[in-house]
């Protein structure tokens, strides 16, 4: 099976904003510069595509900053329909001007499996694309239930230093909370670095029970840790 899931940045009258994709997607309205591109990519045959203005070195977000795109497994129709399980691709097409006389582009696809199990892949770097991760989490599995099988807290009990392993989970923050509800440690995690664990030192804290809160941008889950120095 094949489906287009795209983050689109298409501008009117430019030569560096995905003109080939806009044509292939069947979008309407010809750009004013006559290069065959279209003005409105949203009219094309895309699924839940996101469009936006041109990014540059001075915009927020930056042109070469991180991108995060999600897809719910459904078509982009007025009444969305869940597509069948199978192998799908996320296509990334980028075009940019190095200078007025030099243009570069990337047009590449990354396969993933939509199914009953969680699936994660880390495609290799290509051009300006780096630290890529692609995860399918089936709706039948809540993020919390996935956590229970993917998150590891060890050693537990701990004598001071312990590890939180979160392989295949896009963790954004980890907090250590004492029995009074106070956050004694807090760590922001950069998912783009593809780290799979973090070591935390509680040797300066009192013995007892602690709650380890592991969060993504969507939800969170709690785990118990016993500190026994």
Q: Of 42-51, 108-117, 168-177, 184-193, which range is least confident?
A: 42-51
What DSSP designation does 20 have?
A: H
User: 79-85 long-range contacts, Cβ below 8 Å, gap at least 24?
Assistant: 83/1, 83/3, 83/114, 84/1, 85/113, 85/114, 85/115, 85/116
Q: What is the pTM of this model?
A: 0.43
Q: Please report the pLDDT score of residue 3 as a whole number.
A: 38
Of 74, 107, 136, the one marking the end of a domain is 136
Is the residue at 1 inside a domain?
no
Quick one: 121 and 16 in the same domain? yes
Give mean pLDDT, residues 44-56: 53
What confidence tens digit (pLDDT) does each residue in 93-135 have?
776 666 666 667 787 888 898 887 778 888 888 887 888 888 8
Q: Please report the pLDDT score of residue 185 as a whole number.
A: 95
44 vs 135, which has greater pLDDT? 135
Domain that holds residue 29: 7-136
Residue 31 has pLDDT above 70, yes or no: no
Q: Of 25-39, 94-108, 124-138, 139-153, which range is least confident?
A: 25-39
Of 115, 136, 157, the one marking the end of a domain is 136
Quick one: 116 and 173 in the same domain? no
Quick one: 17 and 117 in the same domain? yes
110 vs 10, which has greater pLDDT? 110
Would you call 91 helix, strand, or coil by DSSP? strand
Is the residue at 182 inside a domain?
yes
Residue 200 has pLDDT above 60, yes or no: yes
Quick one: 103 and 71 in the same domain? yes
Quick one: 147 and 131 in the same domain? no
Which domain CATH number covers 194? 2.60.40.3080
Of 116, 136, 156, the one marking the end of a domain is 136
Q: What is the mean pLDDT of the chain?
A: 73
How many domains, in total, are found in the chain? 2
């Amino acid at each position: 099976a094949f489906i287009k899931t795209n983050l689109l940045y298409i501008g009117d009258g430019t030569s560096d904003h995905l003109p080939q994709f806009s044509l292939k997607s069947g979008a309407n309205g010809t750009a004013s510069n006559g290069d065959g591109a279209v003005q409105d990519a949203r009219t094309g045959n895309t699924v839940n595509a996101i469009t936006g203005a041109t990014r540059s070195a001075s915009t927020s977000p930056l042109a070469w900053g991180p991108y995060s795109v999600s897809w719910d497994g459904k078509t982009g129709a007025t009444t969305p329909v869940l597509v069948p399980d199978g192998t799908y691709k996320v296509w990334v097409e980028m075009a940019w001007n190095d200078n007025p006389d030099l243009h570069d582009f990337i047009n590449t696809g990354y396969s993933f499996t939509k199914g009953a199990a969680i699936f994660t892949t880390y495609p290799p770097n290509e051009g300006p694309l780096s630290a890529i991760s692609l995860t399918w989490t089936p709706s039948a599995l809540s993020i919390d239930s996935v956590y229970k099988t993917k998150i590891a807290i060890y050693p537990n009990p701990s004598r001071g230093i312990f590890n939180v392993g979160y392989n295949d989970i896009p963790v954004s923050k980890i907090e250590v909370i004492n029995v009074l509800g106070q956050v004694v440690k807090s760590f922001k995690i950069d998912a783009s670095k593809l780290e799979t664990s973090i070591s935390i030192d509680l040797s300066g804290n009192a013995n007892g029970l602690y709650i380890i809160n592991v969060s993504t941008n969507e939800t969170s889950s709690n785990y118990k840790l016993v500190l026994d120095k």
